[in-house]
Amino acid sequence: MTVNKALALRLSSLLFVNKMSKYRLEKISGMSHSAMTHIFNEDYKDIKLSTVIRFARAFNMSVAKFLDDPLFENLDLEID
């Protein structure tokens, strides 16, 4: 699994739990619609830490809590 796919799955889960739309996440996180589309379509090979920080803040959680998910425990996450 790629880092992008893990991030997209984590975001989908948090959106569902928080009853938040992708549009609302875009507005709160300051991410462009284009960037959000690329993330959910898994077009990126790698994700910047600053992007993860934006998403964590949008859900009012620390980066550690955001990444504290079995999706990110996989040592075989593709990063290239």
Q: How far apart are CA 58 and CA 72, in angstroms?
A: 19
**Count of beta carbons in the 10 Å neighbourhood of residue 49:** 8
In a domain, 53, yes or no: yes
Identify the domain containing residue 14 by its residue range.
Answer: 3-71
Residue of higher predicted confidence among 26 and 74: 26
Assigned domain for 76 exists? no
**Could you tell me if residue 12 is inside a domain?**
yes
| pLDDT attached to residue 45 | 75
Query: Which pLDDT score, from 0 to 100, does residue 80 have?
Result: 61
In-domain check, residue 77: no
Tell me the per-residue pLDDT of 39-62, one tens digit each, with 9 for 90 and over.
999 888 778 999 999 999 999 999
Give the alpha-carbon dihedral of 75, 52, 20, 43, to 10 degrees: -70
What's the number of domains the chain is made of? 1
> Does the structure show a pLDDT above 90 at 14?
yes
Number of Cβ atoms within 10 Å of the Cβ of 17: 9
Statement: residue 66 has pLDDT above 80: yes
CATH number of domain containing 65 = 1.10.260.40
Q: Are 67 and 55 in contact (CB under 8 A)?
A: no
* 78 falls within a domain: no
Q: Quote the percentage of the chain above a pLDDT of 70.
A: 99
11 in a structural domain: yes
